[in-house]
Structure 1
Amino acid sequence: MAKFSLYLLLLLSSQYMLVIANSDPTNFIKTSCRATRYPALCIHSLLTYATTIRKSELQLAQVALGISLSRARSASSFISKLAKRRGTKSREYRATKDCIEIMGDTVYQLSRSIKELGGMRRRFNGQDFAWHVSNVQTWVSAALTNENTCIDGFSGPAMNGNAKVAIRKRVLNVAQVTSNALALVNRFADRHGGEETTNLP
């Protein structure tokens, strides 16, 4: 009888711990980030927003896109200031100017994506859901392509200046968080594509 009581106590304890783990938003974020290409960065960037995200896959994707947008704006501002510095090589200067334009497009595409995803709290049928989420996926993919194009513009042995190092570092970070955001958007789409709910989780 004592052994059975101990077994029952251990079973109930393990079930309780499982419920606690599954209700923990930090655990939800860590589990969701496994679907991304850069899981450690994903977890690090999203944990601060755990109370906002809770266990909502829609909210998770929105916050991830918001982080991408914030870093894209920061990178764009930094590159714009860098372009005004004197002594930059002509080829580096052209690549920097191209990157400013590219990052401007990225900011626009990510902004549209966040707005589109935010509208998905309303009721959509399967076809409407697919249309709206497809728009988001297209724009985020384009933003990711833009970021990689900016980085590629500084490739080659002739581009070894300080501007290259500084810009590549920042834009690479934007590309990584954008890649993660796209993975989380795709995860949200896969899990809710067949639903017809008024308030998506």
Structure 2
Amino acid sequence: MARDALTLSLIFVSVFFIPTKIESTTVAATNPATNFIKASCRATTYPVVCVQSLSVYAPTIQRSPRQLVQTALSVSLERAQSTQTFVVRLTKFRGLKPKERAAIKDCLEEMSDNVDRLSKSIKELKSMGQARGKEFIWHMSNVETWVSAALTDDSTCIDGFSGRALNGVPA
């Protein structure tokens, strides 16, 4: 049980770092799977976004911490890929200043790293099977490292657009 809480808190801290349009979902408040998702999302940085993003997957998640984590990572990967595509489009804008072009280029590299790290995290979770003890800790340490690095990549991308040089908000 403690490892499930550790897993959930680890993943949910990082799962919703890429802002996207959220489609509204209608799920009965008494649904045990939805209640499980809501309770799990309370520990996240953005609980409303967490619930909105995962509630649609309630039938798949049920009340499985492992399925919740896998789904959260899959949603994050999908959003990271979407963001990467968006940043690629930004590179094609004409009239960009050199500093803007450099920030976009750096961000694209960070997004590429994000996609890679989230993909590795998903594969690691799938490959760990029913690992226990030291083997479980080793697998989770890998996931934690890659998810933490993805968060850092995201922050680095955002920081590249802040400050006076790009008319952003000072970091």
Q: Normalised by the shorter chain, which TM-score bucket?
A: 0.7 to 0.9
Counterpart position of 1:157 = 164
Counterpart position of 2:69 = 61
Map 1:44-193; keep pairs closer than 5 Å: 44-120=52-128, 122-160=129-167
Deviation of the 1:158 alpha carbon: 2.2
Counterpart position of 1:43 = 51
TM-score if structure 2 supplies the norm length?
0.78
If you compute each CA radius of gyration, which structure gives the higher value, 1 or 2? 1
CA RMSD of aligned residues (A): 1.7
Q: Distance in 1 between matches of 2:163 and 2:40?
A: 37
Deviation of the 1:71 alpha carbon: 0.7
Q: Distance in 2 between matches of 1:117 and 1:35?
A: 21
Counterpart position of 1:172 = none
Q: Percent identity?
A: 56
- Answer 1 or 2: which has greater helix percent: 1
- Letter of the aligned partner of 2:50 in structure 1? C
- Letter of the aligned partner of 1:77 in structure 2? T
Counterpart position of 2:38 = 30
Q: Distance in 1 between matches of 2:165 and 2:86?
A: 22
Q: Distance in 1 between matches of 2:74 and 2:91?
A: 26
Between 1 and 2, higher relative CO (CA 8 Å, sep ≥ 6) is seen in 1
Paired residues, number: 141
Counterpart position of 2:26 = none
Q: C-alpha deviations, 1:108-141, integer Å up to 9, x for none?
A: 0000001111223x23230100000110000000
Deviation of the 1:155 alpha carbon: 1.2
Q: Distance in 2 between matches of 1:73 and 1:159?
A: 25
Structure 2: state its 5+ residue gaps.
1-28
Deviation of the 1:45 alpha carbon: 0.4
Q: Distance in 2 between matches of 1:41 and 1:137?
A: 21
4+ residue segments displaced more than 6 Å? none
- Letter of the aligned partner of 2:84 in structure 1? S
Q: Distance in 2 between matches of 1:102 and 1:109?
A: 10
